[in-house]
Amino acid sequence: MPKWHVTLSGDPWDLKTLMGVAVGVAEEGHTFVLRSPTFDTLTDAGTVQQLAIELVEVLNGLGRMKDGNLRPVTVAGVIGDNGAGMISLFVGDGLPVADRAGAAISDPATGEPIPVPPSPNFAKWAAIAPREPSVR
């Protein structure tokens, strides 16, 4: 069975916000990806794409709860490795332009940023959303 990952498209600010909800979004190089164990149970890129679109809808909702100014993130591509090579399915999307700024809290002694811990409820809500339309 292929190992799948989904590339995401959106404003870096919004993509980093989704990383903060701790539900499978990661930054890899200059790309933001979404991974899920459920993807790896599937054999068809189109099915992975549809599931990813549904999951990203949930993540966008969680992201809006964390940052009311979040602009929706979309699925940019689906990439699977079947062990013999790459299988790719790319979907189109536009490039957003951002006009936001943020601030970070730094340790005065070291100058290192102090991370804000994610809300423990995001992971719980993300787990409930696929089976509960009112949460989605």
Q: pLDDT by residue (tens digit) across 49-93? A: 999 999 999 999 989 988 889 999 999 989 888 777 666 565 554
Query: How many domains is the chain partitioned into structurally?
Result: 1
**29 occurs within a structural domain:** yes
**82 occurs within a structural domain:** yes
**68 occurs within a structural domain:** yes
Greater confidence (103 vs 127) lies with 127
Q: pLDDT by residue (tens digit) across 94-117? A: 444 445 556 667 777 888 888 776
pLDDT at 16: 92
**74 occurs within a structural domain:** yes
**3 occurs within a structural domain:** yes
Long-range Cβ pairs for the range 11-16 (8 Å, 24+): 11/71, 11/73, 11/96, 11/97, 11/98, 11/100, 12/98, 13/98, 13/100, 13/102, 14/63, 14/67, 14/70, 14/71, 14/72, 14/73, 15/73
**17 occurs within a structural domain:** yes
**128 occurs within a structural domain:** no
**133 occurs within a structural domain:** no
Range(s) of the domain holding residue 25: 1-93
> What value does the mean pLDDT take over residues 23-41?
90
